[in-house]
Amino acid sequence: MSGPALKHVDSHKAIHEAALNEAIELTNFLDKLVRDNHTEKALELAYVIVEQWETRTLRHAEAEEEGLYKELVEENPDLNEDIVALTRDHNLLRILIKEIKSTLKDDGINDGVVQKFQSLIIVDELHNQKEMEVLPEH
């Protein structure tokens, strides 16, 4: 069973916005560090951003998948396709994080890592928009 914050559109939207805005700010700062060749600081920040995505967005995604999404489909089976698509978005976020972690470990920080963090933001923005369309007001 999902918590009340996940079922209420306004509070759910606030959860998304807080995590996403934080990710955007951190990624913008990372981009500046990389462009200014502050490699050591950029690498440290990149790991912080990975942790932010894992603890804020991906943990939230797990809660949605384990509770909210199942409940929504039980209440309205017509939402199944949308829920499959939203879950795929979560999987794309997980794939990107895995790729970022691998690159950081093997090659360190580079512009490609910044681009993948920016891709995370784009996927999450689109996901959040769709989820707000699917999420009924309870």
Residue 108 pLDDT: 98
Q: Is residue 20 a contact partner of residue 125, using CB atoms and an 8 Å limit?
A: yes
Residue 37 pLDDT: 98
Give the predicted TM-score (pTM) of the model: 0.90
Structure tokens at 25: 């700010």
| CA-based torsion, 60, 66, 70, 71: positive or negative | negative
Residue 123 pLDDT: 98
What are the residue ranges spanned by the domains of the chain? 4-134
Tens of pLDDT, residue by residue over 83-101, are 999 999 999 999 999 999 9
- The ranges of the chain with pLDDT < 70 are 1-9, 137-138
